[in-house]
Amino acid sequence: MPHTVGYAPGVYDLFHVGHLNILRHARQHCDYLVAGVVSDEMAELAKGSAPVVPLIERLEIVRSIRFVDAAFVETVPDKLQTWKQVRFDVLFKGDDWRGTPKGERLQRDFASVGVQVVYFPYTVHTSSTQLRRALEVLASPVASPVTPGAPRSAPGTTSP
């Protein structure tokens, strides 16, 4: 019986239910699941900003997920180079990649080495980008804090 190795790459920053869903679905489609955790440098190169959670912590979180058999630190942008190191049979991605130039290139590149690309539903209501934006809003200085239940004055007027 063939032994199928799956690979689920991601930054896995601000770990959320979307990440868990990808890993859960991926594990159902392979015998052994390797999660590729993108290094801080590669994440910044790909997304334009460094992860909030440092690599060593993201790696520990991902390794602790019961669906994951092993975690691998991605340090190169070329997934084919990663494949040469990990030797997986199936690559898992969110379906937000399907039909995009990046997704089509990924499929073409991996077809050349016999690796199948499988897409899973992207969790649209939660993403690390949305969480990062919410954190930025919470961290931004507020000109005048509002106490819940306290009377407020209309813009351009003064308080009584």
Q: What angle do CA 112, 115, 127 make, to 5 degrees?
A: 120
Determine the Cα–Cα distance for residues 160 and 126; give it in Å rounded to an integer.
Answer: 42
- Predicted confidence at residue 92, as pLDDT, reads 96
- Predicted confidence at residue 109, as pLDDT, reads 95
Q: What is the average pLDDT across 31-46? A: 95
Phi/psi at 72 (nearest 5 deg)?
Answer: -130, 135
Q: What is the average pLDDT across 35-61? A: 92
Mean pLDDT of the chain: 84
- Predicted confidence at residue 81, as pLDDT, reads 95
- Predicted confidence at residue 14, as pLDDT, reads 85
Q: What angle do CA 29, 46, 26 make, to 5 degrees?
A: 5
pLDDT at 8 over 70: yes
Q: How many helices and strands in the chain, by DSSP H and E?
A: 6, 5
pTM summary value: 0.77
Q: At what angle do helices 101-111 and 79-86 cross, to 10 degrees?
A: 40
More confident residue, 37 or 128: 37
Chain CA centroid to CA 30, Å: 20
Contact 89, 116 (CB under 8 A): yes
Task: List C-alpha distances in Å: 138 to 45, 46, 132.
Answer: 26, 25, 10
For 78-133, how does the pLDDT look when each residue is reduced to its tens digit (9 = 90+)?
899 999 999 999 999 988 888 999 899 999 999 999 999 999 887 666 666 666 66
- Predicted confidence at residue 125, as pLDDT, reads 61
For 67-77, how does the pLDDT look when each residue is reduced to its tens digit (9 = 90+)?
999 999 999 98
pLDDT at 157 over 50: no
